[in-house]
Chains A and B, each alone.
Chain A
Amino acid sequence: MAHGPAKGFTRWLYTTNHKDIGSMYLWFSFAMFFLGGFFALVIRAELFQPGLQIVEPNFFNQMTTMHGLVMVFGAVMPAFVGLANWMVPMMIGAPDMALPRMNNWSFWILPFAFAMLASTLFMEGGAPNFGWTFYAPLSTTYAPASVTFFIFAVHIMGASSIMGAINIIATILNMRAPGMTLMKMPLFVWTWLITAYLLIAVMPVLAGVVTMMLMDIHFGTSFFDAAGGGDPVLFQHVFWFFGHPEVYIMILPAFGVVSAIIPTFARKPLFGYSSMVYATASIAFLSFIVWAHHMFTVGMPLFGELVFMYATMLIAIPTGVKVFNWVTTMFKGSMTFETPMLFSIAFVILFTIGGFSGLMLAIAPADFQYHDTYFVVAHFHYVLVPGAIFSITAAVYYWLPKWSGNMYDETMGKAHFWLAFIGLNVTFFPMHFSGLAGMPRRIPDYNPLWADWNMISSVGAFLFGAAQLLFLFIVIRTIIGGKKATAEVWEGSHGLEWTVPSPAPYHTFSTPPEVK
């Protein structure tokens, strides 16, 4: 091996090693997950019962906004980039990422972006309070002064994501080991390749829309100001042109993760590999032509409503194909239920439930009743929490022995799973009911009609939060010590990452492996 890591803090500051950078992304995301989770618990504490008890409405709005932004841009996206950093080179037999210095840069600008975003909480007028969707003119003419910092932070996050995506594409297309043809790549690599293209396509659109806001706020333009001839609906079109692909950016790599884990613990190859690849590509394509399903109530003409309704319904098909393939992979397997498998199975079930409510939301006339209620909050948490978060958790349990060389404690892992699983369902399932019963989202106080469901949700949220503290404990304990892991780690594991020792050496595949 060439050389080991440098000593001290500069190792992390100057590193160009994909494993170091991957770890930093993962720890950063973990920290943001706790920060965003803290904001969520403030929200849930206020909503525990009707009336205002803990926070003022303006601060409540800051909490929902910061929670959404931190979870989406701080917890989920960096976690997947961290996983890609660690696993993509090891899965395709490459020594490192294609652009290691850019890799360092794309990570290190993130802490600054989020420090800036978090600092707005302490500014006069408070943090952004216009929702993570920041609809104009609430986010322009009527925004607190801190919106400018928000815009700058979003720009930095976007730059980081774009650089990360370019790096991943360059690595996958150029650095595969001999014999690793595209159709032999593990699905995690495939889903990330497609995700990276989505990122490059839509992050500039996000940058564009926040720049237009900046212009409206400081330079007297009126892109989104009706009084100046601008158009508030234009904002929503541009935002969701970014926003809908964004939700797939958060879920496609998750598909890749569970497609790696389920075959391992079913001891049976993934069913329908090529149809999985095509389904991922179709989902990515369709994600560009459905954005206005978030805008069924803005008053589009009938024809527009119909087109977006039909296109959205179509997405159910490739998504269904994926679920059927996972289930068929389990069918007639020889299954065991270690923690990563438990999280993956929960992923399939709960993500499918989120998919069902998504299909319901696609029916435009019904969406007139669902839109902007807690039904939507239930829907997107069913796809994001058991979707993105559970898959990331599963990935950590699955690959942590490879990263650290130690096995985690299986009993504790299972305890974490059950606490999280129960907490999640107790939190989010009742939101379907309060939403259908008419509770709007983003409100700090509500009619007693919805009180019981809200109380249950709040209890579940604190349970879920506690489960994550256990997770932190398990991860730290595993890194410090524990039963030594073998190179294969799992009985049923397949793939290049399992051919290197555990923990994976600082440099892997300096000479490319041969893939048959």
Chain B
Amino acid sequence: MLSISRRSLGLLFAVAVAFLPALVYAGEWQLNMTEGVTSVSQSVFRLHMVILIICVVIGIVVFGVMFYSMYAHRKSRGAKAANFHESTTLEIIWTVIPFVILIAMAFPATSTLKKIYDTDNADLDILITGYQWKWKYEYLGEDVSFFSNLSEKSRQQIYSKAPKSADYLLDVDEPVLIPVGKKVRFLVTAADVIHSWWVPDIAVKRDAIPGYVNESWTLVEEPGTFVGQCAELCGKDHGFMPIVLKAVPQAEFDAWLAEKRAAATAIAEAAKQQLSFEELYAKGEEVYISRCAACHQDNGQGIPGVFPAIAGSAVATGDLASHLSVILNGVNGTAMQAFAEQLNPVESAAVTTFQRNAFGNNTGDIIQPIDIVNFQQDQ
């Protein structure tokens, strides 16, 4: 018996040693919750540390008593069993003490929660909509809105053997900007399934639920870039819909808004131009890979039973109007979303041209941006 228990201790020691290098590296390896950059995230962090320490202390006491009796009260050391098996006093003590600790814990938790829920008096409102698998940001009253997708750089790295970059899967094509020193309210909703908008550094996690508009807020004092991810399983590419939030000085923020508005005007202008088949096809392939291939796949074959193939599709080789309708209006109640608001007319024309000519769908059709504009006006 004794020899076995020595062996057990030896094993325990071996485990501890195995973990030691991990602890030495702890500086590089992030072990703990981020403190974040807002007063909310910092009070959340404090709550986390307090409750963690309470648990550790209780753990040391309880496990201490346990290990002591495992050592001292073992039969191999000649321990004789006592026979006590009841004590109302003890039961009351170990009911009351935890109760008191919990009440002490409830106060700071309640006040932090109240702070999180205080969304009044915001300086800026951003409507965030979750889509499979991207975020849409609308600056209410500013006439600016855009979609934010996983960056092309990360997408390229998914299957590659090369080492991943430091921001792998945590970078986007269009970050969302907020001005520093301003209270920003986030209104969070979803267009298809449930998502959850989470940025750890500002301790904001709000579920994006179809039919609901949830509220949250933040106030970031110093400029910085903060990353996050969708935190609610939302289908196939749930792991691939990151968030990049940039806090910038007010002036830079205003300039950025103006730039966005100018870009929108330029797009409307561009819709008037005529493009060659080659231009449309090349552009369309780009759009297809970044916006459609997640479901319809790079080779146009789709995923049987889940996402239909584009190759040989009756829609993509048939009547143009119904093909445009699927792309621009989506198919209600399916993962095929309305792309009219995600793609500009040039992109829509290009991807439609691409789909009607790629993967062996050689229809020879050319769709110009103006066709898209006309189609939408006729609806």
Could you tell me which A residues sit within 8 Å of B by CB distance? 50-52, 57-58, 61, 123-126, 129-131, 135, 137-138, 141-142, 144-145, 225-227, 230-233, 266-275, 297-299, 302, 305-306, 309-310, 313-314, 316-317, 320-321, 323-324, 327-337, 345, 348-349, 352-353, 356-357, 359-360, 363-366, 368-369, 371-373, 414, 418, 422, 425-426, 430, 433, 436-438, 440, 442-449, 452-453, 456
Contacts and interface: CB of A to CB of B under 8 A. Distances in A.
Contacts of A345: 66, 70
B224 interface: no
The size bracket of the interface on B is: 35 or more
A185 to B, nearest CB: 16
A442 B238 contact: yes
Given A58-B303, A137-B210, A232-B211, A364 B113 contact: yes
Nearest to B231: A372
B110 interface: yes
Given A125-B304, A131-B233, A272-B91, A299 B85 contact: no
Nearest to A453: B29
Contact of A313 (B102, B194, B237): B102
A292 B1 CA distance: 48
Contact of B75 (A317, A334, A425): A334
Interface string B110-134: 1011101100000000000000100
A55 B25 CA distance: 31
B279 interface: no
A392 to B, nearest CB: 22
B5 to A, nearest CB: 7
B335 A142 contact: yes
10 contacts: A51-B158, A125-B306, A332-B82, A333-B81, A334-B79, A360-B51, A363-B109, A366-B48, A438-B30, A438-B34
A138 B55 contact: no
B99 to A, nearest CB: 6
4 interchain residue pairs of minimum CB distance = A125-B305, A226-B211, A443-B239, A124-B305
A348 to B, nearest CB: 7
B354 interface: no
B17 interface: no
B166 interface: yes
Nearest to A435: B33
Interface in B206-238: 206-207, 209-212, 214-215, 228-238
B51 A137 contact: no
B82 A233 contact: no
A309 B69 contact: no
A227 B333 contact: yes
A506 B151 CA distance: 67
Contacts of B74: 334-337
Given A142-B235, A230-B211, 17 more contacts: A123-B305, A124-B305, A135-B233, A138-B193, A138-B234, A226-B211, A232-B209, A306-B113, A309-B109, A320-B95, A327-B69, A356-B55, A356-B58, A363-B105, A414-B8, A443-B239, A448-B164
A439 to B, nearest CB: 9
Contacts of A309: 106, 109-110, 113
B31 interface: yes
Contacts of A352: 59, 62-63
A370 B268 CA distance: 44
A135 B195 CA distance: 11
